Amino acid sequence: MRIRVDDISFAHPGGPTLYTGLSFTAHEGSLVALTGPSGSGKSTLLSLLGGWLRPTHGTIERTAIHDVALVPQNPHGVSERTALDHVCLPLVARGAGRGDATVVARRQLMRLNLEEVAARPYRMLSGGERQRMLLARALATEPDMLLIDEPTAQLDPRAAADVCEALRSLQEAAAIVFVATHDPRVIAACSTTIDLLTVQPPADDHGDS
């Protein structure tokens, strides 16, 4: 399993070029931080890696990557549904029986130290618990590539520390994981860092997070 980014550039129609000459390769088991300040194109790069956008120049080659999961920056859920329900949902939607889905969901909740809140409704979860629950839901589908957007952006320091610990455990996942972040704690939890400032046209105005 591999993703190879070769000399890509990207600009939104009518917008500035976010980066030029960006190249890297990541393999199964990689946990990669995509860093840079607001406007450096981190979120856009996640969309490029996921195949939802195409580069203006260059190529992105995916080998044996079939399923891609995205964990968005701002967690959303159904107020009265439990954490377990949320993790089960994508499995049931794919045709799994509720019993089988529950077994998988509980395993992932336990992996991220959420077993004690499995029966708790979404509205009663803390910010850190919600973020980790979304990670558990994404992992339950066994994606080949996991894209995580600013996982600590809205969290207090304690909740952010819990999420960082969860991220460290993702290196054991059989997936390629990219995390868009400017949080030094998240960067430290990753095994590799790609700094988008090194591939940005210095004269351009940037507008993406």
**What confidence score (pLDDT) does residue 203 get?**
58
Of 108, 88, 110, 113, residue with least CA distance to 99: 88
Phi and psi torsions of 142, nearest 5°: 50, 60
Residues 133, 75 contacting (CB under 8 angstroms):
yes
**What confidence score (pLDDT) does residue 170 get?**
76
Q: How many CB atoms lie within 10 A of CB 129?
A: 22
pTM of the model: 0.87
**What confidence score (pLDDT) does residue 162 get?**
82
Distance separating alpha carbons of residues 207 and 209, to the nearest angstrom: 7
Structural domain spans, the chain = 78-141
**What confidence score (pLDDT) does residue 207 get?**
47
Cα distances from 28 to residues 51, 126, 174, 177, in angstroms, run 18, 31, 6, 8
Q: HEC profile for the chain? A: CEEEEEEEEEECCCCCEEEEEEEEEEECCCEEEEECCCCCCHHHHHHHHHCCCCCCEEEEEEECCCCEEEECCCCCCCCCCEHHHHHHHHHHHCCCCHHHHHHHHHHHHHHCCCHHHCCCEHHHCCHHHHHHHHHHHHHHCCCCEEEEECCCCCCCHHHHHHHHHHHHHHHHCCCEEEEECCCHHHHHHCCEEEEHHHHCCCCCCCCCC
- Walk along the chain (209 residues) and give the pLDDT tens digit of each residue: 999 999 999 998 888 888 889 999 999 989 999 998 888 899 999 999 999 999 999 999 999 999 999 998 877 889 999 999 999 999 999 999 999 999 999 999 998 889 999 999 999 998 889 988 998 999 899 899 999 999 888 788 887 888 888 888 777 777 899 999 988 989 998 989 999 988 877 654 444 55
For residues 149, 155, 160 and 164, what is the CA-based torsion angle, rounded to 10 degrees?
-10
